[in-house]
Amino acid sequence: MWFRSVYLKTLRDFRVPILGWGLGLGLLMAVVIAALPTVLATPAARAAVVALGPAFAWFAEPVKIDTPGGYATWKYGLTVLVVAIWPILAQTATLRGEEEKGSLDTLLSVPLARARLAVEKVAAMWTALLVFAVIVGLLAFAGTAKASVDFGLGDTILFGVNIALIAAVFGAVALFVSQFVQERRTAAGITAGVLLVCVVLDMVHRVEPGTDWISRLSPVYYYNLSKPLIPSYGTNVGAMLVQLAITVALSAAAVWLFVRRDLGDTVHLPGVSRQPKAMRRPVAALPVGDWTLRSVYARSLGMIAIPTLWWTLAIAGFSAWMVDVVKQTASQLRSILEGSPVMKDFIRIGGSDAASNSGILSALFIFAPILLMSFAVTQSNRWSADLEDGRLELVLSTPQPRVNVMLGRFAALATATVAISLLTLAATALASSLTGVALDGGKLIAATLSMIPLALLVAAIGYALSGWLRAAVDTGLVSFLLVIWFVIVFLGPGLKWPDATLRLSALYYYGTPLLNGVQIANILVIVFVGAAALALAATRFVRKDLAA
């Protein structure tokens, strides 16, 4: 049955992401909803949360946060946007990725109309997201069995639909962007940057009053207008329709462009973006004499230079933005923290100096290593995709020892990671100086450089899994592992999870360097596990059949 049409075959290919992301996010919300009545059990705890809300309004609008639905929406609603990773990767692979591999040529030789093929693939993505939404809604509702809540099954289903809609928006962005670039990885990277910019744009109106018009440019703004788990606030049907309209418009434009361009080519913008043939200079088949051809390491650096630049702008810019957020909210949050020790149970910061600039920034800075680890996921995907598509066979025929090829690629990734961390350090320090937010220089260095082992650990795990799994499954598992790690450190302290559970997350070992400096023992754990994963990856790569 599943091979009767492109739609059914594509939907079948999504079965693992549907279950993985649906069950993962659904179980997360079930656990959160079931545990929140305990977290908010006393009047003091509820009063503390209500007092904390305005100080963290930049993150999400605090509405009825002394109720399970309001608290879950406020603290965890925005973090579920990580689910957009799946449609971004899927939509860039569905057309552009198959063009790269040449499989689309075979599919279109059936014969099959281009428009029908593209429409069926897009429809399969939408169906998959709808099934995902239902799974999330059902599991979230299951969490209410042990909690007294004021929302029902319909509300939890709408909660899942709202998440599916915003994920569909960025999937459509990825599909549209992929019509203008040659590689799916480039399209995915650009879309990930757009997602981050949209999140920041949505935050602007909650930090700087009177800037609602800026936030309205972001699809995330319309996602946040619906809060189905808060019945008094409800679901904004108009906002959902805006998200649906954006998705349909961008998807339709992408299909229209795909039908009209050459297969394997890109859409060429009019005017100066394309020179007349007579003015074009001949291009050699290979960049003979180019410095990047001197070694695998040098060539790998050249390949990831542009993605590194964009990720640097995103991560360094986000870190500098966090410093500005601290300036905007520091005095208000400091007075709350100093007046109510209960508050420390609701924000993940450690140490006795929680009310300082460093303490407040430490609670926010956890997103910086997450972003750097996401960069590592994209680069480990590049390795596994090259391995799967046979791009390494030509390199190994030169000849090159296999272990040298892998270590050369990994060394280039490590160099890029160090560069991003150093430039993030410079941007954060500059923002601190310009805004007048006093930070300890040594601890700021510790906070930025301690991100490097975490990113390399993620990359090493991705390299290791590539020895046994296809690129899509490998990237999906590493992405999901990153989400689980984040969930553990983000939810665990507030829900009183045991220390043994918290230690399962690599982010636990990152600690709070802005407060307490580098924890050498913890960093050594990350380095040891990462080295073991890389050694396993190298052993498997040396011994495996490249065609397997």
> Read out DSSP for 142-184?
HGGGGS--S--HHHHHHHHHHHHHHHHHHHHHHHHHTTTSS-H
The verdict on residue 465 lying in a domain is yes
* Tokens encoding 395: 């390199």
Mean pLDDT of the chain: 84
Both 194 and 305 in one domain: the answer is no
What pLDDT, on the 0 to 100 scale, is given for residue 286? 53
Both 470 and 523 in one domain: the answer is yes
What pLDDT, on the 0 to 100 scale, is given for residue 330? 63
Other Cβ atoms less than 10 A from the Cβ of 194: the count is 17
Confidence of residue 67 (pLDDT cuts 50, 70, 90): confident
The verdict on residue 280 lying in a domain is no
Give the whole-angstrom CA distance, residue 352 versus residue 425. 24
pLDDT of residue 356 exceeding 70, the answer is no
pLDDT of residue 227 exceeding 90, the answer is yes
Both 320 and 410 in one domain: the answer is yes
**Strand partners for 234:** 227
Both 408 and 544 in one domain: the answer is yes
Chain-centroid distance of CA 5 in Å reads: 31
Give the whole-angstrom CA distance, residue 55 versus residue 331. 9
- Quick one: which of 47, 113, 385 has its CA closest to 255? 113
Both 85 and 158 in one domain: the answer is yes
| pLDDT-wise least confident of 26-35, 221-230, 500-509 | 26-35
The region, left, alpha or beta by phi > 0 then psi within -120 to 50, assigned to residue 351 is: left
At 409, is the secondary structure helix, strand, or coil? helix
What pLDDT, on the 0 to 100 scale, is given for residue 287? 58
Give the whole-angstrom CA distance, residue 322 versus residue 448. 13
Token pair 């990734």 in the structure block, residue? 413
The verdict on residue 146 lying in a domain is yes
Give the whole-angstrom CA distance, residue 355 versus residue 324. 16
Kind plus residue range of the DSSP H or E element containing 207? helix 184-207
**Strand partners for 481:** none
The verdict on residue 183 lying in a domain is yes
**Which DSSP symbol is given to 227?**
B
Both 196 and 263 in one domain: the answer is yes
At residue 270, φ and ψ (nearest 5 deg) are -70, 160
Other Cβ atoms less than 10 A from the Cβ of 391: the count is 12
pLDDT single digits (tens) 361-408: 776 677 889 889 989 988 998 898 888 878 888 788 888 889 999 999
3-state helix, strand, coil in the chain (%, to 5): 75, 0, 25
Give the whole-angstrom CA distance, residue 320 versus residue 426. 9
Range of the domain at 87: 1-38+78-269
Confidence of residue 183 (pLDDT cuts 50, 70, 90): confident
Helices then strands, counting H and E runs in the chain, come out as 24, 0
Give the whole-angstrom CA distance, residue 464 versus residue 538. 8
* Tokens encoding 391: 């791009």
Both 475 and 371 in one domain: the answer is yes
Number of independent structural domains in the chain = 2
Residue 470 and residue 381 in contact, taking contact as beta carbons nearer than 8 Å: no
Residue 546 and residue 393 in contact, taking contact as beta carbons nearer than 8 Å: yes
pTM above 0.85, yes or no: no
**Which of 208, 235, 269 is the last residue before a domain boundary?**
269
**Which of 269, 299, 334 is the last residue before a domain boundary?**
269
Other Cβ atoms less than 10 A from the Cβ of 259: the count is 14
On the question of a cis peptide bond just before residue 399, with omega within 30 degrees of 0, the verdict is yes
* Tokens encoding 285: 């088949």
Residue 48 and residue 346 in contact, taking contact as beta carbons nearer than 8 Å: yes
The verdict on residue 485 lying in a domain is yes
Both 146 and 255 in one domain: the answer is yes
- Quick one: which of 387, 329, 301, 295 has its CA closest to 208? 329
What pLDDT, on the 0 to 100 scale, is given for residue 333? 59
Confidence of residue 354 (pLDDT cuts 50, 70, 90): very low
**Strand partners for 227:** 234
Other Cβ atoms less than 10 A from the Cβ of 102: the count is 11
pLDDT single digits (tens) 102-129: 888 888 887 788 999 999 999 999 999 9
Confidence of residue 41 (pLDDT cuts 50, 70, 90): confident
Both 297 and 349 in one domain: the answer is yes
What pLDDT, on the 0 to 100 scale, is given for residue 128? 95
pLDDT of residue 280 exceeding 70, the answer is no
Give the whole-angstrom CA distance, residue 391 versus residue 407. 16
The region, left, alpha or beta by phi > 0 then psi within -120 to 50, assigned to residue 210 is: left
Residue 240 and residue 165 in contact, taking contact as beta carbons nearer than 8 Å: yes
The rounded percent of the chain whose pLDDT value lies above 70 is: 88
* Tokens encoding 401: 């020892």
Both 503 and 409 in one domain: the answer is yes
Other Cβ atoms less than 10 A from the Cβ of 45: the count is 17
Both 254 and 197 in one domain: the answer is yes
The verdict on residue 402 lying in a domain is yes
Give Cα separations from 47 to 35, 206, 232, 374, 390 (angstroms).
18, 22, 20, 36, 59
pLDDT of residue 93 exceeding 90, the answer is no
Both 254 and 210 in one domain: the answer is yes
Other Cβ atoms less than 10 A from the Cβ of 360: the count is 26
Amino acid identity of residue 410, one-letter, is F
Give the whole-angstrom CA distance, residue 270 versus residue 408. 40
The verdict on residue 185 lying in a domain is yes
pLDDT single digits (tens) 420-435: 999 999 999 998 888 8
**Which of 234, 269, 304 is the last residue before a domain boundary?**
269
- Quick one: which of 395, 389, 473, 474 has its CA closest to 98? 389
pLDDT single digits (tens) 506-527: 999 998 888 787 889 999 999 9
pLDDT single digits (tens) 149-167: 889 999 999 999 999 999 9
The verdict on residue 71 lying in a domain is no
**Which DSSP symbol is given to 495?**
T
pLDDT of residue 274 exceeding 90, the answer is no
- Burial of residue 42 (CB within 10 Å: 0-12, 13-18, 19+) is exposed
**Which DSSP symbol is given to 95?**
I
